[in-house]
Structure 1
């Protein structure tokens, strides 16, 4: 598992969530695809914004929360 320190906390337990890796049975990473076009040349060709999905798991209650890795 791809655990790493996180500043995210479980809304139920209040403990620090553990970042994990998420992929399909076929080995592909899961991504969120926006309706917005990418910037630059790829956007002008109709390519959409894509963001990797990162799951965080509570070590206490096993709740899983999904967040998109979005560059601000």
Structure 2
């Protein structure tokens, strides 16, 4: 997931670079909302999940994580 072009480091002012967030096992990290999914799975109580992407400052190493809410 790429961060929008206008994301800049609050410390250095440079554009953040897109990175992928994964566990040591290679799985993608996700956030889970309190909202149920649509359809049958939602009626069974399965919650919405959104993958995370990271943006990293190439100067100072600041890393920020962003949920892909459009997925």
TM-score (norm 1): 0.85
Distance 1:5 1:33, change over 3 A: closer
- Is 2:28 the partner of 1:29? yes
Cross-structure match for 1:67:
66
Deviation string, structure 1 residues 14-53 (Cα, Å, up to 9, x no partner): 1110010111111111000111111222211111010001
- Stretches of 4+ moved more than 2 A in 1? none
Q: Secondary structure at the match of 1:70?
A: coil
Alignment: residue pair count: 70
| CA distance in 1: counterparts of 2:4 and 2:70, whole angstroms | 17
- Is 2:52 the partner of 1:53? yes
- Alignment root-mean-square deviation, CA: 2.1
Runs of 5+ consecutive residues of structure 2 not aligned to the other structure = none
